[in-house]
């Protein structure tokens, strides 16, 4: 996890796993309803692409925090008068 910039590793509790699984079932049902009107070739193309999307999303660490505009403890720079 060295290349990952997350600060803490999180794990789900057993109750959290139950809730996540239930949510996944609901999501699959809703997605199925959305896919019914699509032509079969489009559904097939989508099913081939989704694993790539999932892999890309799972492998991306969160962005680094933005640097402050001024160092802590220093006053903010004043805006020039017009």
Give the Cα separation of 30 and 25 in Å (integer): 9
Indicate whether 77 pLDDT > 70: no
Three-class secondary structure of residue 2 per DSSP: coil
Burial 11-31 (b: 16+ CB within 10 A, else e): eeeeeeeeeeeeeeeeeeeee
Q: What is the pLDDT of residues 8-51, one digit of tens each?
A: 778 999 999 999 999 998 988 998 898 899 999 998 998 888 88
pTM higher than 0.75: no
């Amino acid at each position: 996890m060295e290349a990952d910039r997350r600060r803490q590793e999180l794990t789900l509790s057993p109750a959290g796993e139950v809730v996540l699984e239930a949510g996944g079932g609901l999501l699959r049902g809703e997605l199925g309803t959305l896919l019914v009107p699509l032509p079969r070739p489009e559904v097939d193309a989508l099913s081939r692409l989704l694993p790539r999307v999932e892999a890309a999303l799972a492998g991306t660490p969160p962005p680094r925090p933005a640097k402050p505009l001024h160092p802590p403890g220093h006053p903010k720079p004043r805006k020039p008068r017009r």
